[in-house]
Structure 1
Amino acid sequence: MSDEQVLPDDYAICIAGHGSRDKDGIREFLTLSSKFRERDPHRVVECGFLEFAKPTITEAISRCNQPKIKNVIVLPGVLMAAGHAKNDMPSEVLDAASKFPRLNIQYGRPLDVHPKVLKVCAERVETAEKTAAKNIARADTLLMGVGRGSNDPDANSNIAKITRMLWEGMRFGWAETSFIGVTQPLLDDALDKVVRMKFSRIIIFPLFLFTGVLVKRIYAITEKYQLTYPEIEFIKAPYLNYHDLIIDVFMERAQEVPYGKQSMNCQMCKYRDQVVGFEQQVGEPQAGHHHHVRGIEGYHGLDHGHEHHHGHGHDNHSHKK
């Protein structure tokens, strides 16, 4: 690591998660924050959630407000920069900035398409292949990448990009991209199409960081199709979860912030440029849409493993050019 990539001591890290009604998903996210502490044990590291769990993002930032801390980096703990990372989380950061004026609160980038993320994806797919009962060549296998689904075409296209890169890089016979909600094609519709292509094996790969209601729904749909089409082997690949390379990328995202290198790729962002079909959304104000479910499920009975601190930040992340 070069000197300019070292994170100064007066910086704290706050990892902002989406939150989930699923206790397993919350537990995995908390494990991610513990991995940060293992990498940098003297660093103040907190985590908060946008919805369905506590602490909230504002509460997590308040815990960073310690005498030695002057700066807080809020990292979106999500795979792709869709509405949550572009609107809801920055809105929470701006709200916290007004409450903690002593702190310089800065917003980082999500993981996005990164060579290390792709390597973890390949490992997860390979893990699925190793669990298979049959010996089937990749040329006879179809890879189905499944994303969350968003009303942001930029984020959806990145899911398709990862699927495509795995297809070509791992030399599968075919690959398709589908989603579990919001946009098309939905997983059921995509599977109805590809079962007619006569591949011997279909690998279902959820492009999610952590488990939750949607990942479990993806696996349930996979099991349903296995029962309906017993002549095809359906394999459920594990989602990304925490991994040393995932932690590497998150640490990179934190280390780039003090040096102004955290700019998102806004070339195809519907809030910054006139993307076909979304022209009216250019320059929309960053406003959160999760106030009604912020912290609604409480702490899920889980131990977040840190003391409570209180305190004061500002950051400016705007869609306007």
Structure 2
Amino acid sequence: MSTPLIIAAHGTRDAEGEAVCRSLAERVAGMLPDAKVALGFVELSEPSIPEALTEVLTDGPGHRAVVVPLMLGTGGHVRSDIPEFIAEALQHVPAARIDYAGHLGADPRLVSVVRDRIAAALGDWDPARTTLVFVGRGALVPDANADHVRLARMHYEEGGWADVEAAFIQVTRPSLPEALDRAYAAGARQLVVMGHWLFPGRLRQWTIEQSEAWADAHPYAQVRVAEVIGDCDELAEVVVDRYRETLPDASPSGSPAYLTGLLLDDRSVVVVGAGRVSARRVPRLLDSGAKVTLIAPEATGGLRRLAEDGALEWLPRPYQEGDLDGAWYALASTDDPEVNARVAADAEAEHTFCVRADDARRGSAWTAASHSAGGVSVAVIGNREPRRSRTVRDAIFASQSVRQAIFSALTEG
């Protein structure tokens, strides 16, 4: 049997919300047939996280477990409460090892589900004439609130909305009614409210009630409310990935990847897909001197300008067999997993190293979290843990001793 998974959920007095959460846990269990999957709750529902952990660690093999917080943001539950529950469980099973996974965050799969829920509420309205009010829980942790505002901005940049207002249902401001007032004052008369929640419960009910009350007081405006994310394959897949990223079976010496520096100057690199991932990585490939061929029917503005300037070759069409002929390195970063799988398979047949942006495990290379300063580059690669790699990279360059070492090396040279 594999290492057990404890899903750390919030808990609710809403019977429907708890049922949907338990259904999600069953879906996750179906994706991990060799691992015991259990639910533990922060509050309001049973069992508690320490109870679920203690039971699994006492009965299971190896006294190991992975805890995945079923949370979209990094508020107090993720930063304080769940770690404290883990510490409490370790008091009962002191020889156990409990690994704590990252929260769900703005995973592209969840962002896509949210867009689907918003589109269903939007119906026949034109987004260009509609304002989206994107509602988060609200936290005492400023970073968590800032993450929500950032995600609201992403929806604005990518959704074609007339405007997007970020709001919070509790703890901080602007409140949902305040955000609706702002949108109305700016001229919005068609508004879609999206409560960024996982399951039915108090937050969903408050969102509906406040939206309806505001609409009743503003007869010249129309308000539609989108549904929550709910029990779906995409959410279950993210939970499974957080679990697998955190499994305590990584190579004892670090990442299983073999670290090397690729010299791509004047060598062919093929990038399939022209979205946000490619927009981040193509400039670095060009800086390395690579001859980049971009393959995608559409491209972001930045990549389009690079093509117009002659910095890369853009083939405005779908990926085709033979596109990797002669390539030294490939990046599969479309929003279609089947296309990415084809690119990775063709790369394997061509002995071309390939990064698969949507599923790193099924590529043959990983992109390091890197930073350069003073002619020195530092790259960090974890065991399929990009967030941890970025955290370590940032910590390295935030260190005064590292900055001093770089300066000393430059002055001595």
Residue type of the alignment partner of 1:263: R
The 1:67/1:90 distance shift into structure 2, 3 A limit, reads closer
Indicate the residue corresponding to 1:163 in structure 2.
152
Structural mapping, 1:6-17, within 5 Å: 9-17=1-9
Indicate the residue corresponding to 2:10 in structure 1.
18
Query: Is the 2:71–2:103 Cα contact (8 Å) retained in structure 1?
Result: yes
Query: Is the 1:201–1:232 Cα contact (8 Å) retained in structure 2?
Result: yes
Indicate the residue corresponding to 1:248 in structure 2.
237
Indicate the residue corresponding to 2:283 in structure 1.
none
The 1:112/1:16 distance shift into structure 2, 3 A limit, reads same
The alpha-carbon deviation at position 69 of structure 1 amounts to 4.3
The 1:181/1:55 distance shift into structure 2, 3 A limit, reads same
2-structure distance, mates of 1:35, 1:230: 42
Query: Is the 1:12–1:69 Cα contact (8 Å) retained in structure 2?
Result: no
Query: Is the 2:11–2:44 Cα contact (8 Å) retained in structure 1?
Result: yes
The alpha-carbon deviation at position 240 of structure 1 amounts to 1.2
Cα offsets for 1:46-73 (capped at 9, x unmatched) = 0111111110101111231334343200
Cα offsets for 1:151-206 (capped at 9, x unmatched) = 11111111112211111111101001000111111111111221122223100000
Number of matched residues? 257
Residue type of the alignment partner of 2:110: V
Query: Is the 1:28–1:210 Cα contact (8 Å) retained in structure 2?
Result: yes
Match of 2:140 among 137, 141, 151: 151
2-structure distance, mates of 1:185, 1:33: 33
Residue type of the alignment partner of 2:48: T
Is 1:43 paired with 2:43?
A: no
The alpha-carbon deviation at position 252 of structure 1 amounts to 0.9
Match of 2:388 among 260, 263, 285: 263
2-structure distance, mates of 1:154, 1:94: 24
1-structure distance, mates of 2:41, 2:155: 31
The alpha-carbon deviation at position 264 of structure 1 amounts to 9.0
Indicate the residue corresponding to 1:191 in structure 2.
180
2-structure distance, mates of 1:197, 1:240: 29
Cα offsets for 1:46-101 (capped at 9, x unmatched) = 01111111101011112313343432001111111111100000000011112113
| Secondary structure of 1:263's aligned partner | helix
Indicate the residue corresponding to 1:94 in structure 2.
87
| Secondary structure of 1:256's aligned partner | helix
Match of 1:53 among 45, 48, 62: 45
Residue type of the alignment partner of 1:153: P
Query: Is the 1:47–1:60 Cα contact (8 Å) retained in structure 2?
Result: yes
1-structure distance, mates of 2:84, 2:5: 17
Is 1:34 paired with 2:1?
A: no
Q: RMSD value over aligned CA atoms?
A: 2.0
| Secondary structure of 1:164's aligned partner | helix
Indicate the residue corresponding to 2:64 in structure 1.
71
Cα offsets for 1:108-151 (capped at 9, x unmatched) = 11101221121111111111123xxxx43111100000001001
The 1:116/1:122 distance shift into structure 2, 3 A limit, reads same
Compute the TM-score of the two structures, normalised by the length of structure 2: 0.59
Which structure carries more relative contact order (alpha carbon 8 Å, separation 6+)? Answer: 1
Q: Which moved more, 1:110-119 or 1:59-68?
A: 59-68
Structural mapping, 1:180-259, within 5 Å: 180-258=169-247, 259=250
Identity of aligned residues (%): 27
Compute the TM-score of the two structures, normalised by the length of structure 1: 0.75
Indicate the residue corresponding to 1:128 in structure 2.
121
Indicate the residue corresponding to 2:301 in structure 1.
none
Residue type of the alignment partner of 1:93: I
Identify unmatched segments of 5+ residues in structure 2: 251-382, 393-397, 399-413
| Secondary structure of 1:74's aligned partner | strand
The structure whose residues are more often helix, as a share, is 2
| Secondary structure of 1:44's aligned partner | strand
Identify unmatched segments of 5+ residues in structure 1: 1-8, 268-272, 274-321
Residue type of the alignment partner of 1:39: M
Q: Which moved more, 1:226-235 or 1:88-97?
A: 226-235
Is 1:62 paired with 2:54?
A: yes
Query: Is the 1:73–1:107 Cα contact (8 Å) retained in structure 2?
Result: yes
Residue type of the alignment partner of 2:131: L
The 1:264/1:47 distance shift into structure 2, 3 A limit, reads farther
| Secondary structure of 2:121's aligned partner | helix
Query: Is the 1:46–1:63 Cα contact (8 Å) retained in structure 2?
Result: no
- Structure 1 or 2, whichever has the larger Rg, is 2
